A and B are shown apart, each in its own frame.
Chain A
Amino acid sequence: MNYDDIMALMQEAVDSLYRAELVEEAIKLNKGTVLLGDNSALDSMGFVTFITEIEERVEDKTGIEFVVVIDKLHEFNEENSNLSIGSLILFIESEIGK
C-alpha cells in the first residue's frame, strides 16, 4: 500500500464511522488534518474507533496483522505535539513495510 492508498483507506474509514454515527460530522481528510492534539477533528473516543477501523482495514487489505499502540505512535511522532493524518500514514507505511 502506498501513501495514496492509505489516504483513501482512511477516508473510507472515517466516512463509514460517520454513516454509523460514530463520529458527529463528516470529515474530509487531508494530510494536515489533526487527529490528536489542538483542534483535533475527533474526540479521544472517536480517535479510538477510527484507529480500530484503520487496523481492521489495513489487515484486510494487506493480510498483515496491524495493531496501533499509542506508545509506538508517540515514539514515531515525538517531534510533533499533534498527530496528523500525514504522520499516521507515514507510521502505517513504516509498520506494514517491516
Chain B
Amino acid sequence: MTATSRSQLKCPTCRGPVEAAAGRRTKVFPFCSSRCQLIDLGRWIDEEFRISEPADQAGGGAESVNPGGDRE
C-alpha cells in the first residue's frame, strides 16, 4: 500500500469524488451520497459482492457443483 493523497478518495458506487477532510467523515462515508450508499446496499442484498477463486484452488472440483446452493 502506497500512501495516497486524500483527493483520490472515490465513491465505491459512482467513482466520483468523496468528501472526507482529515478526521471528518460524512454520514454517508465512504460514499459520495446516500443514493450511492443505497445502491451499494442493494448490491449486498443481491449478493453481488463476491470474492472469487478458481475452482481448483478452492479445494472443490467441478464435481461439487451445486449452483444456487451452499457448499458445505
Do A and B pair up? The answer is no
